[in-house]
Amino acid sequence: MSRTPQFEARLAGLLYLLIIAAGLTAELGIRAQLIVPGDPAATATSILAREGLFRLSLGLDVAMGLSDAGLAVLLYVLLRPAGPTLALMAMVFRLVQTAILGANLLNQQAALIALTGPAPADPEALALLMLSTQSHGYDLALFFFGVASLMTGALIFRSGYLPRSLGLLLAAAGAVYLTGSALRFLAPALSAGFAPAYGVTLLAETGLALWLLARGVNATAWAAKAGG
């Protein structure tokens, strides 16, 4: 019996929404409220006063990483008919991003250990340094995610079974991720001014997630491509 891709599409949409919700909650909903840039003492006080909340942000990022690994495979399955080699490359770049983000969570745990474990010299400054390193590690991972998004956008655009507008939006999101990460490392003074452009990424990824969850793919067109 021939299968349709609708189950994979809807599961991909569900995982994508989980990734967006977990990532935004961890970064903007929790850490951004606890970390005081340039003030180690205030950051340490804030984290220790709400340690459980700080730990929750790490748990949400773990859930995001697990979901992202699954989503990478599902998108490969869905987009392989539009270009097997490009779909494989997009999956690999996305998995590299996931691996970097997962390893980068050790910086957050190290900050907590510095504040709650055996006291090193100047634990507050060390904790803030580790959290800053985590923030930069996040942007390093987005280099790879930006490339994956460009490839995924191209695959969606050429697929014939997903809206081309979603492909264009996702490619634009990839360009934003690449530009934002480049500015963070190469021209940090310009990074804050570029931040509003990340609204494009939220629009593109949420739009794709909702489309996959609610509409899936055109199964007839997908099967025709897959069969060919």
Residue 40 token pair: 């180690």
Is pTM beyond 0.85 here?
yes
pLDDT per 10-residue tile (average), the chain, 228 residues: 78 97 96 93 94 96 97 97 97 97 93 83 89 94 97 97 97 98 95 96 97 95 87
CA distances in angstroms from 33 to 25, 36, 46, 115, 149, listed in the order given = 11, 8, 9, 18, 29
Residue length of the chain: 228
pLDDT at 203: 97
List CB contacts of 98: < 8 A, sequence separation 6 or more: 65, 68, 69, 72, 141
CA 142 to chain centre: 7
What is the residue whose two structure tokens read 């997630």?
209
**Structure confidence by residue, pLDDT tens digits, 106-143:** 999 999 998 987 767 788 999 999 999 999 999 999 99
pLDDT at 122: 85
SS3 of the chain: helix, strand, coil, percent, to 5: 90, 0, 10
